Amino acid sequence: MSDRKTLQIQRMSAHPGPIPGTGVQRDVQVCKLVDTTTCIGCKACEVACVEWNDMPFGATTFDNTYQTMPETRWNFWNLIKFNEHPREDGTVQWLMRKDQCMHCADPGCLAACPADGAIVQYTNGIVDFNQENCIGCEYCVSGCPFNIPKLNPGTKKVYKCTLCSDRVGEGLEPACIKACPTGCLKFGTKDDMKFIAEERAKQLRDNFGMEKAGVYDPESIGGTHVIYVLHDATDPERYGGLPKNPTIPWSYTVWKWLFKPVLGAFALFGGLGVLLHYVTVGPRRPQPEPPNKEGTNGNGD
Amino acid sequence: MELSRRTFLKGTLVGGVGFSALGFDLTPVYAQTQGLKISRATETRSTCPYCSVSCGVIIYTLGDKAKNAIPQVVHVEGDPDHPINRGTLCPKGSSLEQDILNDRRLLKPQVRRPGATDWEDISWDQANAEIAQRVKKTRDDTFLEKDSQGRTVNRCEGIAWTGGCTDTNEFNYLVVKSMRSLGVCYLENQARV
Amino acid sequence: MTNGWIDIKNTDMMLIMGGNPAENHPCGFKWAIEAKIQRNAKTIVVDPRLTRTAATADLYLQIRAGADIAFLGGVINYALDNNRIARDYLVNYTNAGFIIKEGFKLPDDGLYSGFDPETKMYDKSSWNYEEGGDLSGKAVLPTPSGQNARATHVQGSDTGQGHQGASPAGAKAGASPVPLLPSKVAFDLSLQHPRCVFQLLKKQYERYTPEMVERITGIPQDQFLKAADLYTSIRKDGDMKKVSTIIYAVGWTQHSFGTQIIRTAAMLQMLMGNVGRAGGGVNALRGHSNIQGATDMAGVFDTLPGYLKMPNPNDVDLATYLKRITPISSKPDPWNSFNYWSNTPKFTVSLLKALYGPAATKDNDWAFHYLPKIDRNYSWVNIWNDMYEGKIKGLFAFGMNGVMIGPDSTKNIEALKKADWLVVCEIYPDETSEFWRAPGISADDQKKINTTVYRLPGAGFAEKDGSFTNSARWLQWKQIALPPPGEARLDQDILAMIYLKVRELYQKEGGKFADPVLNATFAYTNPYAPSLAEVAKEVSGKALADITDPKTNQTIKSGQQVPGFAWLKDDGTTACGNWIYSGSWTEAGAMIQRRGTEDPSGLGIYPNWAWSWPANRRVLYNRASCDLNGKPWDSSRRQVWWDEGKQLWVGNDIPDFKPDSAPKDHMGPFIMNPEGIGRLFVPLGGMADGPFPEHYEPIESPIANPLHPNQSNNPVVKKYKTEFDKYGTADQGFNVICTTYRLTEHYHYWTKNNPMNVQLVPEPFVEVPAELADRMGVHGGERVKVTSARSHYIAKAMVTRRIRPMKIDGKEMFQIGLPIHWGFRGIAEDEGKTAKTLANQLTPTVIDPNAFTPEFKGFLVKIEKA
């Protein structure tokens, strides 16, 4: 593994001391662009993800929707969310959005994680989980504003989209990006993706009568390494619960800020953090109900 | 237990190094450790068998074609050179690995005898001998050289051929050659429906 | 497709109708998206459901299944009314100015002239051009036609090359003298003559008013007008720069008037001057990897490879056959017609030489009588019908799951019970090979089924080489990745094994007319495992003697591959298995294996990638992309053009034209029609049901045809008569319109064996409009039972607002939708997660009279809580 470039870590969960290897190599910030206006909900990205990562197949049940399952799973990291949005004239706008880890610039999962090196952020912006280091505490789950990380009850480890860090590390695009038939998914540097996204949004406003078209790259978490072009950027919630202003629970940011300099007592602080989180946010479970269970997905109510 | 290949490979690569929950600085675990699973696999260019867009696919198989390596598919991805799909694939094309490597595949010739309630295995030779005899008998029984008006028709109406959508052009040509030579008129294909 | 997948990116406007490319051809649909992004192209989607294609559309209209001709006819009417037509194109490249014979009658009452109610067939002699000369500006009664005109037999249909290309072997063929096209057609280029095609066309479609469109299709007038205006807006003020495309699939084909829907689209495209142009055309998406190839290679009963017609019993010898099927040009006297089908004898004799080799000699008419002669319909539904009636004893099903495909799967199962033997070659256990234990057949019943079934394990796509032809007519070779599993064998080895064994039996025992069986060429290096590369070379064709082109003095040596079909001979010196594929494998190598990724024009032509028929031309009829002087209508999308210096047609694509025919010669761009022009009006035998398309109701319809209630259905369509062939009516309570389709997550009856795809969509479902579900008291996920006059189907309801209630002829109606993918063998089926009913148990046995495709769309059902 030393004979080729590995991804360089820029941030690491609960790590005492300096981050190994920082500053050794420079890197570009990578980004996925998801243009929901050209997404056809074909699920090629879902399959490409499962296939590339050799994930085992799970059972699903028909739930009055084209959506494969209500939310991502530990072994299903990429999910198209289908939503039938009623228009004023009584017609329906059928929205499809690829849901997956957003690879936040300021990752809530990483901030919440008490296990040394279980979550890392590479200098290219990818947020990756190292299951070897994961202790299965699931703080990342509640730290995520997008409901993405999921526990495998068998291994007691948490999993999520890696942004195909293995492929990206070898100079390849992520599997979902490569598969996408319409090109609604694109991959490149964050600057390029941002530029293309803004251009596309402008085209939608100027030529296709979508006055509210815009780009989703929420500032509240420092931006994301997965950005969306939306028909209506003023209402991201309609795309299967995309939060307008995603935030990390403050309890996680606070304990890190308070105790990070004190390295040796990490485990204790971890415990404190949990307590603090429990007090401020509440118990970890149950998870918020996924929106489609409430009937906004596919059943037209 | 449902363990993904990626996890498994990672575990293998880092050897006996276990948890670092207690804060040991175990550099190799932090860095990305998985080798690209297709980096040494054999690449074969093919065409997706599903719809008529004809996406180019690359089938990655185990081994380097050495005699002792029995190829098996490990991954299928779009062919980026193909001008139409340019590397993309739909959800069906993306799951082609499961079409090739599928435990529901038929592996042996079988026969269901008249009145039987189940399949029985049959050898290829036996199946072929029986089929050929049936074809010949049916043709001889139903072949019409002249119709009621005395016109040459040379047709066999007792046999029908239905061909599938994934039959290649060359196979279809052999079908036309062999079936029309038998006098088959009921010659149809998915192309009709 | 007249054009190709990548070419869609060149369009300015798309009408997607009768197809759902985002779901069924996602990777091809990228080029529609590309047109939107690169050219700001607009998309209009007209479909019974708001599909994933419609989700990306600029304008979506919900149409009643089966009302497509009414919609398109309405757009034609709108284009004519608002002068959104391509005048020069229309006058010079179509038969708009041709005069039709007196006595031809439009179907105001639902019937064209010549209908015989007894046989339910037309005497088409009045559907013909008038013989004569230039009547331009002489819009008076024409002079009577001459008596001794040279004439020809009409060929094929119109511009379509696919499915609809073949006309049936008429049951009455030869019974009476076949009417002929006049060699000199009377014409009026001012398009004023009351009997010119243009005026008749206007009259035909002025009945398709927005009001009428609304009554038939259920599309409110304002929405219809919006769509008609948007689609035709590219031809505002006659400007020819912009171009629009029409994209369709079996949502059009699978009707009892399917071919006529496609013709309506072709007519609209010709009126607007969109055929032959980059970003234009009429584009059949085709649903499977190689059904374009199967059609080309005559996998259907009525043709021989390359769309040559099957002989009929009146073809007493080769000369008679060739005379019947070889057209003679028919056109206005001052014009020219290439009439490429005049080469039919060369293609035919070369085919016979390829099939029968040395046994095909001049003395035995090149073994012409080795071929069966047909004079009735042997198409798909007739296989099952006739098997049920005991005529067919044995069936081969090679990768074809006839029980699932239907229509009326129950009838197909009953038919198989009556067969002596069935040979299935498959890669998964399928419903056809296991028909004898279909749900509802008890063990005792099975004991009474005497059919012997052989199930042979075939090879999957990755295990075989060979070529597929995509819907853009590209032939592409694929390589073998791995051997078949277990004892499975390559399909061609299985076919060769059976055929050579039969041949052996004939050699030993003799039998009925053994000559063709014994003499068909099978001289492959290993006949028992024929190399598909060798077969492909045989298909492409070779010289059997030294042949020389007198013009260039180039010589092809005996045994060498011919460079293309222009080299084929009718004297036995060439052999070619399929003339349209000639040139696909030449002395220079396998053109179909080429992988050149360069596209110098930027039009997506990729001339060095694989090979497309004919002659590597990527856009058919591309001469029509230029004006009369040979200059491209749009200089930014230059496909071909006339080079005055070279006195040749040149360009980025291969000209689909006679290369040295100067524009002043006025040769028509539609070189496969004897007229050389595109047919707005299809004369004589081209179509079974009318020279212009007319809206007819599906065989099961909730209303009487608002145009002519007394002739509601297609008059030439016949119902079948076994006890299984029941047709429902609204009076019997079948008042919900049902349509069937595929999902993007599944592929026909194949991916139900694939755990990945099963995970994506695990179970069958029925899409039900929310308003209908409310009335039924059904919630999403609850089981419903859908019943037609034939059978029932049980699945969970997907309650949705993507299908809305409609007003059809003033009455409120509902449509529901049924994905077709589930049967009684599959992962979900074997786990007991489905009701094991088949979507096609519902569908009726009734076929389009031209293409013989069953009416899988737009039949009647009732739906209730299960």
* Other CB atoms within 10 Å distance of the CB of residue C723: 8
Grade residue A258 by pLDDT with cuts at 50, 70 and 90: low
At residue C452, φ and ψ (nearest 5 deg) are -90, 130
Domain that holds residue C250: 1-287+677-692
Q: Kindly report whether the global pTM for this prediction surpasses the value 0.80.
A: yes
Coil, strand, or helix at residue A50? helix
Phi, psi at residue C622, to the nearest 5°?
-70, -10
Q: Is residue C514 part of a domain?
A: no
Do B53 and B26 fall into the same domain? no
For tokens 């439009």, name the residue. Answer: C106
Q: Are residues C681 and C819 in the same domain?
A: no
Range of the domain at B31: 1-35
Above 70 in pLDDT, residue A279?
no
pLDDT of residue C136: 87
Please name which of C405, C402, C833, C430 lies closest in space to residue B119, comparing C-alpha atoms.
Answer: C430
Dist CA B22 CA B10 (whole Å): 20
Contacts of B29 in chain A (CB under 8 A): 117, 130, 132-133
* pLDDT of C142 strictly over 70: no
Note whether B173 contacts C577, CB cutoff 8 Å.
yes
Of A162, C296, C408, the closest CA to residue B52 belongs to C296
Question: And the tokens for A85?
Answer: 């949005």
How much is the pLDDT for C72?
Answer: 98
Is residue C469 assigned to a domain? no
Would you say residue C838 lies in a domain?
A: yes
Which of B101, A56, A43 has the alpha carbon at shortest distance from C761? A43
Residue of C42, C285, C745 to mutate for A, most A C-beta atoms under 10 A: C745
Rounded Cα distance between A134 and B101, Å, is 33
Confidence at residue C178, expressed as pLDDT on a 0 to 100 scale: 73
Measured between beta carbons, the chain C residues lying within 8 angstroms of A94 are 50, 52, 54-55, 802
Region A190-195: what's the mean pLDDT? 98
Task: Tell me the pairing of strands A226-230 and A92-99.
Answer: unpaired
Tell me: do C761 and C681 sit in the same domain.
Answer: no
Distance from CA of C34 to the nearest CA of A (A): 8
Q: Same structural domain for residues C688 and C820? A: no
> Measured between alpha carbons, how far is C187 from C100 in angstroms, rounded to an integer?
9
Alpha helices, DSSP H, located in C467-595: 491-509, 515-519, 532-540
pLDDT one-digit tens code per residue, C233-252: 999 988 999 999 999 999 99
Strands (E), chain A: 9-12, 30-35, 79-86, 92-99, 119-122, 127-129, 150-152, 157-159, 185-189, 214-216, 226-230
Instruction: Tell me: do C166 and C269 sit in the same domain.
Output: yes
* Cα distance between residue B154 and residue C369, in whole Å: 7
* Residue C847: pLDDT over 80: yes
**Using CA atoms, how far apart are residues C563 and C547, in angstroms rounded to an integer?**
12
Whether B107 is covered by a domain: the verdict is no
- What are C659-686's pLDDT values in tens digits? 999 999 999 999 999 999 999 999 998 9
Average pLDDT in the A177-192 region? 98
CATH number, position C263? 3.40.228.10
Q: How far apart are the first and last CA of chain B?
A: 44
The encoded tokens of residue C737 equal 């319109």
A interface test, pick of C33, C219, C746, C752 with most A CB neighbours within 10 Å: C33
Residue A151 lies in a domain: yes
Considering the domain architecture, whether residues B186 and B142 belong to the same structural domain is answered as yes
Interface chains of chain A (3 or more CB pairs under 8 Å): B, C
Q: What is the mean pLDDT of chain C?
A: 95
Q: How many helices (H) and strands (E) does chain B have?
A: 6, 8
Same domain, C683 and C800: no
On whether both B188 and B129 belong to a single domain, the answer is yes
CA pseudo-torsion sign C97, C101, C106, C110: negative
Instruction: Identify the H or E element spanning C548.
Output: strand C547-548
| Residues B172 and B135 placed together within one structural domain of the fold | yes
Domain membership flag for residue A262: no
CA C217 from chain centre, in angstroms, equals 24
Residue predicted with more confidence, B28 or A222: A222
Q: Which of C291, C378, C577 sits opposite B52 (nearest CB)?
A: C291
β C115-116/C121-122 pair status: antiparallel
Q: Report the Cα C838 to chain-centroid distance in Å.
A: 25
Residues of chain B with pLDDT under 70: 1-35
Are the CB atoms for C275 and C668 separated by under 8 Å? Answer: no
**Whether B30 contacts B38, CB under 8 Å:** no
Does residue B115 lie in a domain region? no
**Is residue C151 pLDDT above 50, yes or no?**
no
CB C412 within 8 Å of CB C406? yes
Q: Does residue A261 belong to any structural domain of this protein?
A: no
pLDDT tens digits along C788-810:
999 999 999 999 999 999 999 99
Residues C683 and C748 placed together within one structural domain of the fold: no
- Would you call A165 and B1 a contact, using CB atoms and an 8 Å cutoff? no
Place of tokens 């040279």: C150
**Same domain (yes/no): B68, B84:** yes
B127 phi/psi in degrees, rounded to 5: -60, -45
Please indicate, yes or no, whether residues C46 and C83 belong to a single structural domain of this protein.
yes
Which of the residue ranges B1-5, C97-101, C632-636, C753-757 would you say has the lowest mean pLDDT? B1-5
**CB within 8 Å of chain A, chain C residues 738-757:** 744-745, 755-756
Assigned domain for C214 exists: yes
Which of C29, C416, C477, C502 to mutate against chain B (most B CBs within 10 Å)? C502
Please, where are the H alpha helices in C357-477? 380-388, 402-405, 409-418, 443-447
A190-202 burial: b if 16+ Cβ within 10 Å, else e: beebbebbeebbe
Q: Tell me phi and psi for residue B145, to 5 degrees.
A: -85, -40
Residue with token string 């039949």? C859
Residue A240: left if φ>0, alpha if ψ -120 to 50, beta else—which one?
left
Average pLDDT for C318-346: 97
Same domain, yes or no: B131 and B159: yes
Domain membership of residue B118 (yes or no) is: no
Task: Flag whether pLDDT at A266 surpasses 90.
Answer: no
Picking from B23, B75, B94, the nearest residue to A116 by CB comes out as B23
State the total domains in chain C. Answer: 2
Chains that touch C (3 or more CB pairs under 8 A): A, B
Q: Does C770 touch chain A (CB under 8 A)?
A: yes
Question: At residue C168, does pLDDT exceed 80?
Answer: no
Choose among B4, B78, B91: nearest Cβ to A178.
Answer: B78
Q: Are the C-beta atoms of residues C806 and C736 closer than 8 Å to each other?
A: no
Q: Whole-angstrom Cα distance, residue C701 to residue C768?
A: 19
User: Which CATH number characterizes residue A87's domain?
Assistant: 3.30.70.20
For chain A, the domain total comes to 1
C244-248 and C282-284 as β-strands: parallel, antiparallel, unpaired? parallel
Tell me the C-alpha to C-alpha distance, in Å, between residue C12 and each of C45, C418, C501.
15, 54, 57
Q: How far apart are CA C12 and CA C10, in angstroms?
A: 7
b/e per residue, C432-443, with b = 16+ CB within 10 A?
bbbbbbbeebee
ipTM of the complex: 0.95
Structural Rg of chain B based on CA atoms = 26
Chain A nearest CA to C294, separation (Å): 26
Whether C107 and C211 map to the same domain: the answer is yes
- Please name the helix (run of DSSP H) or strand (run of DSSP E) that holds residue C394, with its range, or none: strand C394-398
Give the mean model confidence (pLDDT) for residues C766-777: 98
pLDDT bucket at A276, cuts 50 / 70 / 90: low
Please indicate, yes or no, if residue A241 is contained in any of the structural domains: no
C640-643 and B143-146: which strand pairing?
unpaired
Residue A63 lies in a domain: yes
Stretch among B13-22, C54-63, C355-364 having the lowest mean pLDDT:
B13-22
Do B133 and B155 lie in one domain? The reply is yes
Task: Work out how many CB contacts closer than 8 A connect A with B.
Answer: 133
Q: Give domain status of residue C87, yes or no.
A: yes
Structure tokens at C733: 């309570």
Cβ within 8 Å of residue B145, ≥6 positions away: B152, B153, B154, C512, C513
Q: What is the pLDDT of residue A27?
A: 80
Pick from B2, B22, B30: which is nearest to A56 by CB? B2
| Tens-place pLDDT, residues A55-78 | 999 999 999 999 999 999 999 999
User: What's the whole-number average pLDDT of chain A?
Assistant: 86
**CATH of residue B73:** 2.20.25.90
Residues B17 and B46 reside in one and the same domain: no
Cβ–Cβ of B3/A154 closer than 8 Å?
yes
Position A239, amino acid: Y
Residue C479: what pLDDT? Answer: 97
Query: Tokens in use for B84?
Result: 């139409």
Q: What percent of chain A has pLDDT over 90?
A: 71
Token representation of residue C324: 């019947």
Q: Judging by beta carbons within 10 Å of its beta carbon (0-12, 13-18, 19+), is residue C708 exposed, middle or buried?
A: middle
* Contact pairs from chain B to chain C, CB under 8 Å: 478
Listed in sequence order, the residues at least 6 apart from A251 whose beta carbon sits closer than 8 Å to its beta carbon are: A273, A276, A277, A279, A280, A281
Tell whether C194 is covered by a domain: yes
What is the C-alpha separation between B22 and A266, in angstroms, rounded? 8
Binary contact (A75, B4; C-beta < 8 A)? yes
Count the residues in chain B: 193
Considering the domain boundaries, does residue B120 fall inside one? Answer: no
Question: At A7, is the pLDDT very low, low, confident or very high (cuts 50, 70, 90)?
Answer: confident
Q: According to the model, what pLDDT value does residue C253 have?
A: 97
Look at residue B110 and tell me if it is in a domain. Answer: no
Indicate whether C687 and C744 sit together in one domain: no
Range of the structural domain that residue A114 is part of: 9-31+43-182+282-294
Q: Is residue A104 part of a domain?
A: yes
Q: Do B94 and B56 reside in the same domain of the chain?
A: yes
**Of the ranges B35-44, C190-199, C287-296, C531-540, which one carries the lowest mean pLDDT score?**
B35-44
Q: Which pLDDT tens digit goes with each residue over C571-610?
A: 999 999 999 999 999 999 999 999 999 999 999 999 999 9
Domain total of chain B: 3
- Per-residue pLDDT, averaged over C542-568, amounts to 97
pLDDT interval class at A249 (50, 70, 90): confident
